[in-house]
Chains A and B, each alone.
Chain A
Amino acid sequence: MTINNGSAKLAVAKDSNVTQILKKYGIVLVLLLMIVVISILEPAFLRPTNIFNVLTQVSIFGIMSLGLTIVIISKGIDLSAGSVLALAAVLAASLGQTAEATGKYFPNLPALPLLIPIAVALLVGLLCGAVNGFLIAKTGIPAFIATLGMQTAARGFALIYTEGKPISNLTTSFTNIGGKIFGVIPVPVVIYSIMIVITYVLLNHTRFGKNIYAIGGNIHAAEVSGIDVKKNLVLIYAYCGLLAGLAAIVFAGRTGSAHPGAATGYELTAIAATTIGGTSHSGGIGTIRGAVIGALVLGVLRNGLTLLGVPAYWQQVTEGVIIVAAVIIDMRKTRQRK
């Protein structure tokens, strides 16, 4: 900026202040606007129980969207997260049933300590993710294809394992994961918050995080600069899978059952949240803060439309329009930056 005229400079500075705020906080403003409008039309929205409801409802796809943010920053995609969630959930649930459950999966098994189903879910998620990463890194097939394959196969395995039937009668320690601490703070929200912090640190304060941005920005440059791209890709998808496994535990804890058809299409909700939050599908751009705000936009929207009594058919239309509108706003932001 080399304008010498004082007043002109001031005007430009003022203008850029406003646009800068819009640029930086565009989606936050959208979220605040939504909250204000919904609260005016339906004051019950601001009740603490409702706020916690929104946060709980967000947490499952919110946890998934943290992993997808990392994947999308690396210029990839993971379409398998919802199916991996279902597979991890049914496997964990089958090991988390009460001793006297009807329709028990392993009739001779006593009620196992909670650690076992949790470990199984995390392991299944991690493994599925690692397979995704391995396929992408070693064979060079597009992430879209590799994870689409996993989406179909993992859902298939979940169906084979359960013969299409839900698994319920989970132990109380398991369903407590869907409950509240001190009767106030929902456990899913606590888990989501912890994962936000961990993923934030991972992305912003570690070499792994820097590598993710470098790979997404320019994979060849990253390779030349000495980054082990293949190893990092496996890790990226493994982490995304791990989060799907964690989301599976929250899901099963919350509903008290696991269904092989569970979370169908949730990966798309998670991708939408990430995208609304400003993560660019052209790679190298994106933040965890954005992913959280994007998830909140969707959560507030769904909750708000129900509170306001918007008819079911129109809710879907509204949600679609808002997703696209949010991304248009966001694209204007990046275009202006160029």
Chain B
Amino acid sequence: MKKRFISLVLLTLVLAVTFSGCTQSSAPTTGGGGKDTFKIGYSCNNFNDTFQTYIVDAAKAYVAEHPELSIDVQDAQEDVIKQQDQVNAFIEQGVDALVVVPVDTSAMDPITKAAKDAGIPLVYVNRNPFGENAVPENVYYVGSQEVIAGQLQMEFVGEQLGGKGNVAILMGILSNEGAVKRTEGNEQIIKEKYPDIKVLAKETGNWQRDQGLSITENWLTAYGNELNAILANNDEMALGALKAARDAGRDDIIVVGVDAIPDALASIEEGGLSATVLQDAVGQGRGALEAVHKALKGESQESITWVPFQLVTSENLSEFK
């Protein structure tokens, strides 16, 4: 029993040393006391979400440019409780500011309160937990208005179809704000501008390429030539839909995505996807860190920073490559 216990302790120590070794190189630690350096705790909703990794990269790049900043990035794995625990652990560690990509935008009150009690600035990124509500003091939001991405997509598709035709929508995980709002944006434009365009189907591909592929195969069976365009909530699903359309010999179907990931840009270049919408990951990641930095230096700023979406098509592709 004793032996076991000792080996467990040793194992824990070895792991702790190994892992701290991994992180320390990028994080110059402060000597405490005089605050000339700042440590930032970053809780990401999910490392599996490709787009989030670009935001994290941009945030890290900003930190690398500013030697007085250091950052610790953690993965909440889409678990809202885990995210709360992470934030509390950050506060215990004595971080000077928090950056949070909400797992669930409706469940952020405890995190907002924890930051307020600790008296440190908090920046939410990418997913807006406040909606129409006022943003509390010392709390900031940096992101894009998801509904606009959907609007840009549908305006493009509406023009391409000449205001007439049938579309289908591939949605992300149904409880995500991005999925709900982008789809809402699609439907708003149809309602306001293109009453002759009909939504044949809406289904969730859970942001995944393989599921977008399977669902589109089934749509092609169900709707055949009636289907003119597919609007996907993200590029991964759009690329899956494109593959299904091409495999079925349906090069006429217009497929559009969101995110402008490198694969999608390459696809636009070779005439695959018709368009994608750039959600500016670098803008959001840098924007978040700039907001943190300003707050730490005590500079005043707007509580919400909107990072604009941009439609990417073959015409303006060169600007984004």
The stretch among B9-17, B26-34, B116-124, B216-224 that forms the contact with chain A is B216-224
The stretch among B204-212, B285-293, B311-319 that forms the contact with chain A is B204-212
**Residue B251, interface by CB 8 Å:** no
| A contact residues around B213 at 8 Å (CB) | 254-255
A309 near B201 (CB under 8 angstroms)?
yes
B49 near A261 (CB under 8 angstroms)?
yes
B53 near A312 (CB under 8 angstroms)?
no
Rounded to whole Å, the gap between the CB of B251 and the closest CB of chain A is: 16
Query: Could you give, for residues 34-66 of chain A, a 1 whenever the CB lies within 8 Å of some chain B CB and a 0 otherwise?
Result: 000000001011010110010011001000000
| A contact residues around B239 at 8 Å (CB) | 255-257
Q: A261-B208, A312-B171, A313-B174 are in contact. Are A164 and B221 (CB under 8 A)?
A: no
Rounded to whole Å, the gap between the CB of A317 and the closest CB of chain B is: 12
Q: In the complex, A313→B219 CA distance in Å?
A: 17
B203 near A103 (CB under 8 angstroms)?
no
**Residue A102, interface by CB 8 Å:** yes
* Majority secondary structure of chain B interface residues (helix, strand, loop or mixed): helix
- The listed residue (A49, A155, A165, A313) touching B221 by CB distance below 8 A is A49
Rounded to whole Å, the gap between the CB of A145 and the closest CB of chain B is: 16
Q: In the complex, A309→B217 CA distance in Å?
A: 14
| B contact residues around A312 at 8 Å (CB) | 171, 174, 202-204
Please report which residues of chain B, range 244-279, place their CB below 8 angstroms from some CB of chain A when the two chains form the complex.
Answer: 247-248, 261-263, 266
Q: How large is the interface on B (under 10, 10 to 19, 20 to 34, 35 or more residues)?
A: 35 or more
B219 near A306 (CB under 8 angstroms)?
yes
Q: A57-B214, A256-B243, A262-B208 are in contact. Are A306 and B48 (CB under 8 A)?
A: no
A255 near B202 (CB under 8 angstroms)?
no
Q: In the complex, A42→B201 CA distance in Å?
A: 15
Q: In the complex, A73→B156 CA distance in Å?
A: 54
| B contact residues around A315 at 8 Å (CB) | 203
| A contact residues around B47 at 8 Å (CB) | 159, 164, 260
**Residue B240, interface by CB 8 Å:** yes
**Residue B142, interface by CB 8 Å:** no
**Residue B284, interface by CB 8 Å:** no
A166 near B218 (CB under 8 angstroms)?
no
**Residue B215, interface by CB 8 Å:** yes
Q: A262-B210, A312-B204 are in contact. Are A255 and B240 (CB under 8 A)?
A: yes
Q: In the complex, A44→B217 CA distance in Å?
A: 12
B49 near A44 (CB under 8 angstroms)?
no
Q: In the complex, A164→B47 CA distance in Å?
A: 6
| A contact residues around B218 at 8 Å (CB) | 50, 53, 302-303, 306-307
Q: In the complex, A307→B216 CA distance in Å?
A: 11
Q: In the complex, A111→B109 CA distance in Å?
A: 51
**Residue B52, interface by CB 8 Å:** yes
Rounded to whole Å, the gap between the CB of B138 and the closest CB of chain A is: 30
- The listed residue (B48, B224, B240) touching A260 by CB distance below 8 A is B48
Q: In the complex, A255→B266 CA distance in Å?
A: 16
B201 near A261 (CB under 8 angstroms)?
no
| A contact residues around B53 at 8 Å (CB) | 163-165
| B contact residues around A306 at 8 Å (CB) | 201, 203, 215, 218-219, 222
B222 near A255 (CB under 8 angstroms)?
no
| B contact residues around A303 at 8 Å (CB) | 218, 221
| B contact residues around A264 at 8 Å (CB) | 48, 208
Rounded to whole Å, the gap between the CB of A164 and the closest CB of chain B is: 4
Query: Could you give, for residues 218-233 of chain B, a 1 whenever the CB lies within 8 Å of some chain A CB and a 0 otherwise?
Result: 1101101000000000
Query: Could you give, for residues 18-58 of chain B, a 1 whenever the CB lies within 8 Å of some chain A CB and a 0 otherwise?
Result: 00000000000000000000000000001111101100000
**Residue A311, interface by CB 8 Å:** yes
**Residue B96, interface by CB 8 Å:** no
Query: Could you give, for residues 136-157 of chain A, a 1 whenever the CB lies within 8 Å of some chain B CB and a 0 otherwise?
Result: 0000000000000000000100
A102 near B222 (CB under 8 angstroms)?
no
| B contact residues around A259 at 8 Å (CB) | 48, 50, 208-209, 236
| B contact residues around A45 at 8 Å (CB) | 221
Q: A255-B210, A259-B209 are in contact. Are A53 and B221 (CB under 8 A)?
A: yes
Rounded to whole Å, the gap between the CB of A94 and the closest CB of chain B is: 15
**Residue A168, interface by CB 8 Å:** yes
**Residue A251, interface by CB 8 Å:** yes
Q: A42-B222, A166-B263, A311-B202 are in contact. Are A255 and B48 (CB under 8 A)?
A: no
Shortest Cβ distance from A303 into B: residue? B218
Shortest Cβ distance from A159 into B: residue? B47
| B contact residues around A179 at 8 Å (CB) | 247
Q: In the complex, A244→B239 CA distance in Å?
A: 24
Contact sample, A vs B, 12 pairs, CB 8 Å cutoff: A44-B222, A45-B221, A57-B214, A57-B217, A166-B261, A256-B239, A259-B48, A262-B210, A303-B221, A306-B203, A308-B222, A313-B174
Chain A residues in contact with chain B, CB under 8 A?
Answer: 42, 44-45, 47, 49-50, 53, 56-57, 60, 102-103, 155, 159, 163-166, 168-169, 179, 251, 254-257, 259-264, 302-303, 306-309, 311-313, 315
Chain B residues in contact with chain A, CB under 8 A?
Answer: 46-50, 52-53, 171, 174, 200-204, 208-210, 213-215, 217-219, 221-222, 224, 236, 239-240, 243, 247-248, 261-263, 266
Ranked nearest first, the 4 interchain pairs of A and B with the lowest CB-CB distance are: A261-B48, A164-B53, A306-B218, A50-B221
